[in-house]
Every structure is written in C-alpha cells, then in structure tokens.
Amino acid sequence: MMRSSLRLFSAGFLFALAGAAAADDCPRPVALRFDITGKIVRSEVGFTQGLEWRDGKLYESTGAIGGRSGLNLIAPDGTVTNVLNQGTRVFGEGLTILNGEMFQLTWQEHEVFVYDLAGKLKRTMRNPREGWGLTNDGESLIFSDGGPSFFFADPKTFAIRREVKLKSDKAGTIDGLNELELVDGKLYGNIFQTNFILRIDPASGCIEGRADMGSLWRAMTDADKKQVTADSNNVLNGIAYDRASGLFYVTGKRWRTIFVGRFSPQK
C-alpha cells in the first residue's frame, strides 16, 4: 500500500495513463505541482475520509479504522475537537457542506447523514452505491464510489441525477477516485492508494491536470514519516479549499500534518 517514499501507484491508473488509444476529445493532462505555504500539526490524528474548510476551521469525517467514525473540527492551530462519535456502527466517508447543512457519506452502509453545522443529525438519505468522496456544485451533491465514474445527486433525496465517466487522453479505466473538492468549476480528487491528485472537468469527465503529491514526503518531519509508514492504511486522502485565501488543505489518513498550499502548472 503506502511505501516510505510515497511512490506507490495503482496498476490500473498507470495503465490508463500509458495506454495507446486516446479517449474522446480529452486533452493531455498538464502536470501540476503543490507549493506548500504552511502546515497544521494536529493535536490528535484521525482516519481522514472527508475534509471541508468553512468559517475559519476544518470539518473532518473519519472512518472506523484504528478508532471510530465520527466528525471532528480542526482549528488552525491544530486543536482537534470531536463533535460526533459514531463508534464502529458505520464507516464514515466523504463530507461536504451545502446550504448550511453538512452531508456525510458512509462506505457500505448506504446511509447519507445530514447534520447541522454543530453535528446534530437532521435527516438520513439512502445511497444506492458505495460512498467514497463527496463535494457539491451549489445545486447537486457530487460523489464517487471507487469506480470509474462520479455521480451528481439530489441533496434532498440523494436520487442520482447524472453519471460522468472519468476519462484521460489515453485508453483504459481509471478506478479509485476518492476524496473530492470542487474548486472554481473544476473537480479535484485523489486516486486511492496512489500519490496522485487529479483536476477534472466535471462536465466531460476529462482529466485536465495531475499532481504527484509524493513531493509532500520531502516536507515531512521524521515524526510525520514514522506515522505514515506505521500502517499501510495511512495513505493520501483529504482535500479542502478556502475560497477566501485561495489555499488548499491536503492530508492523509491518520497523518499528523495537514499541508497548506496552492496548485500551479509544473515548470
């Protein structure tokens, strides 16, 4: 799974990028880099499944590996406050905030929880698919299920409105699309068990850019590296965006550090 150099790649993903036949009308993805401008060192790690920035703090959904599923608040100084402990009854996944409501997917339980911003449950919806990553475009929820597509769903009922297949300029199926964040009309998502974050056109599904986040290894402390390599489940996962500052927040499952920075074309 995760190697100490953060250079593990999904065989299916590499095949998709290296195939011979081009996908319909997709440009060649540009190489992106992530320029680190700051760090948040957490007071307590969490098995990060969903991450969202709102009102000067991070909201986090955690999965039930090595602890519990639940919801956390993470302050800019790294203080972690648990606002909901779901135990191991469900496996928490992607998280997004829309119209003052917080939406949390579950992995295989097919439940979608809707909370107020204090973590009080308001209602539950049913997801017919597995739940992985989650974001929104202001009108629809956008989620992934680990397969080669992402989906647009009604935030009132979770009825699926549209399916978009992920495509590159090369042939092949791309699986493992996980944590999601929609930024300026583009969908950012990491590929599970790799160090890639993709920038995707949500209308066509074309991959327009990809960032090799293996560069984060060089910015990690010895304690960070020890934590990442302690368990093969501690892989890259977690993307949030602050529209006011234009900064991204990127981390991994049970990572000590959340990296703050910007994506830009690689020179």
Q: Could you tell me if 158 and 106 are in contact, meaning their C-beta atoms sit under 8 angstroms apart?
A: no
Q: What is the pLDDT of residue 9?
A: 39
**Going by C-beta distance under 8 Å and a sequence separation of 6 or more, which residues neighbour residue 123?**
114
pLDDT confidence bin for 16, thresholds 50/70/90: very low
Q: What is the 3-state secondary structure (H, E, C) of 172-234?
A: CCCCCEEEEEEECCEEEEEECCCCEEEEECCCCCEEEEEEEHHHHHHHCCHHHHHHHHCCCCC
Give the pLDDT score at 166: 96
| CB atoms closer than 10 angstroms to residue 44 | 13
Q: Which pLDDT band holds residue 10 (cuts at 50, 70, 90)?
A: very low
The per-residue pLDDT for range 43-93, each reduced to its tens digit, is 999 999 999 999 999 999 999 987 789 999 999 999 999 999 999 999 999
Tokens 């639940």 — which residue?
A: 70
CB 83 within 8 A of CB 92: no
pLDDT at 24 over 50: yes
Quote the percentage of the chain above a pLDDT of 90. Answer: 86
User: What does pLDDT average to over the chain?
Assistant: 91
The pLDDT value recorded for residue 23 is: 53
How confident is the model at residue 22, as a pLDDT?
Answer: 46
pLDDT tens per residue, range 135-163 = 999 999 999 999 999 999 999 999 999 99
Give residue-wise pLDDT tens across range 162-183.
Answer: 999 999 887 778 999 999 999 9
* 8 A C-beta contact, residue 131 and residue 141: no
pLDDT of residue 19 exceeding 70, the answer is no
pTM of the model: 0.91
Q: Is the dihedral of CA 137, 65, 261, 51 positive or negative?
A: positive
Contact by Cβ (8 Å): 266, 31: yes
pLDDT digits 0-9 by tens, 80-130: 999 999 999 999 999 999 999 999 999 999 999 999 999 999 999 999 999
Extents of the domains making up the chain: 11-262
Dist. CA 71–CA 50, nearest whole Å: 9
Q: What is the pLDDT of residue 2?
A: 36
What pLDDT score was predicted for residue 173? 83
Q: How far apart are CA 188 and CA 179, in angstroms?
A: 8
The CATH superfamily of 11-262 is TolB, C-terminal domain (2.120.10.30)
